[in-house]
Amino acid sequence: MTNQKKLPKGITYRKDGRYMWRFSHNRRTYCGYATHLADAEKALLDARYRVENGIYGKEGSHTMDEWFAIWLDTFKASLKESTRIKYRQMYTCHIQSDLGRMRLRKITPELLQDLLNRVSQKGLTAASVNAVRSMLCDLFDTACKHQIIRANPMDLVHLPLCKRNQMQKSAFTEPELAEFIRRAESSRYWNIYHLSILTGFRIGEILGLQWKDIDYEQETICVRHTLSYRSGKGFYLESPKSETSRRIIPLLPECVGILRRQAELLHFQKEANPGYTVPAGFEDLCFLTATGKPIFASDIDKSMQKIIDGMRRDGWLDPGKRYTFHSFRHTFATNCTRKGMHMKTLSTILGHSSIRITMDIYTHIGLEDEREELQRIFQVS
């Protein structure tokens, strides 16, 4: 393997076998990649000369693949690892095959609009399509600011309209939720399900919850971390989804009961299992497996889907709707909205980055209720 200490200043060796060159000028960072060291040295010298002489950029030769790697590794290096993984997945699934080998300057608004239109036809939610659009906007905006291209083609691209059933998320009705609770009470994950039903917490937020986050005297729960897992790295705790996702919410008496039961369960597991060992750094987690290990979110999803499948077979759930752990969060928010909770309060409890997100998702609920009432009164089918 190349010894990075012997490389020229401004050049590093990457795990994928490529060389990356980088330098800064007037508070801007410039970088690129090359397969061979000699090519990287030449590109670095050439780029530095062009930048210092004011001739860099507008006719840059970066391909989409090359610029995405630069954008992610350099300009998004401070993001959470899980967010960077999502960006890579979006790029690989929806963008790379169509635009990856094209030069940035050759990518037009028409090509990008066609790409987004086709992404929206894959059955994704409006939020997922918008996430692809937002990433492309940022990627091209960064290229524009660094004079790789003359203008951002995404400025002329519009978010495609999604079908209504794509935009809706599946929440449980009161009878459905009651039936789920009845069937899930014997599950080893019952405390996790129940806590999410009462708080609207995301699955990573619950699995990353620590006992020091619980203040019984002040009757509050603080969301400080989420538990994540990545192949090759294992489990790790990281900051919540956004700054507003880091929040403190009231601790309901029902939640106190859940957490007391969970503490008793952990004590029982430790006493009953001689091989019970908690990995370093996870000793304070509220939720662990019977052997003391952090819990895979996928294991909870699989267990939940067995209950969902049983409810479908017995006619409790619409076979055309999809229910996941996130449905608890959506059900919590739906119930809060129907019972008159102010949108700002709900947005704070959910940890949304803005009240606009909460309103976009849940303001339709009031209209649906009004429509149902009118149909009932006037017997309109």
Rounded to two decimals, the pTM is: 0.66
* Cβ 230 vs Cβ 340: under 8 Å: no
Q: Burial letters for 87-117: b for 16+ Cβ neighbours within 10 Å, e otherwise?
A: beebbeebbeebbeeebbbebeeeebbebbe
On whether both 336 and 264 belong to a single domain, the answer is: yes
Q: How far apart are CA 97 and CA 94, in angstroms?
A: 7
Where does a domain end: 165, 185, 217?
165
On whether both 241 and 121 belong to a single domain, the answer is: no
- The terminus-to-terminus CA distance of the chain in angstroms comes to 72
Q: How many domains does the chain have?
A: 2
Instruction: Kindly report, residue by residue over 169-208, the tens digit of the pLDDT.
Output: 589 999 999 999 999 999 999 999 999 999 999 999 999 9
DSSP H/E element including 33:
strand 28-34
Residue 369's CATH number: 1.10.443.10
On whether both 257 and 311 belong to a single domain, the answer is: yes
Instruction: Kindly report, residue by residue over 248-283, the tens digit of the pLDDT.
Output: 999 999 999 999 999 999 999 999 999 999 999 999
**Domain housing 239:** 174-378
On whether both 157 and 212 belong to a single domain, the answer is: no
Instruction: Kindly report, residue by residue over 51-81, the tens digit of the pLDDT.
Output: 776 655 545 678 999 999 999 998 898 888 8
DSSP H/E element including 226:
strand 226-230
